[in-house]
């Protein structure tokens, strides 16, 4: 598990987002970087 989403997605092939122990989002790293939920929750500075 990595807290720096930008760094993790830059080297990953796929990513999984867990919320209260459940997978709520799973996709390729490039798709996750551009996903609206990911951008708002994890990637905006």
pTM score > 0.95 for this model?
A: no
Residue 3 DSSP one-character state? S
The whole-number pLDDT of residue 4 equals 84
The pLDDT confidence band at residue 43, using thresholds 50, 70 and 90, is confident
Kindly state the helix (H) or strand (E) to which residue 30 belongs, with its residue range: helix 29-33
Of 11, 15, 7, give the one whose Cα is nearest residue 31.
15
Domain boundaries, the chain: 5-43
Sign of the torsion formed by the C-alpha atoms of 6, 11, 16 and 20? negative
pLDDT tens for each residue of 1-33: 667 888 889 999 999 988 899 999 999 999 999
Q: Report how far residue 35's alpha carbon sits from residue 32's, in angstroms, rounded to the nearest whole number.
A: 5
């Amino acid at each position: 598990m990595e807290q720096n989403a930008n760094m993790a997605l830059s080297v990953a092939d796929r990513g999984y987002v867990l919320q209260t122990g459940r997978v709520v989002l799973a996709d390729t790293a490039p798709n996750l970087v551009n996903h609206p939920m990911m951008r708002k929750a994890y990637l905006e500075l």
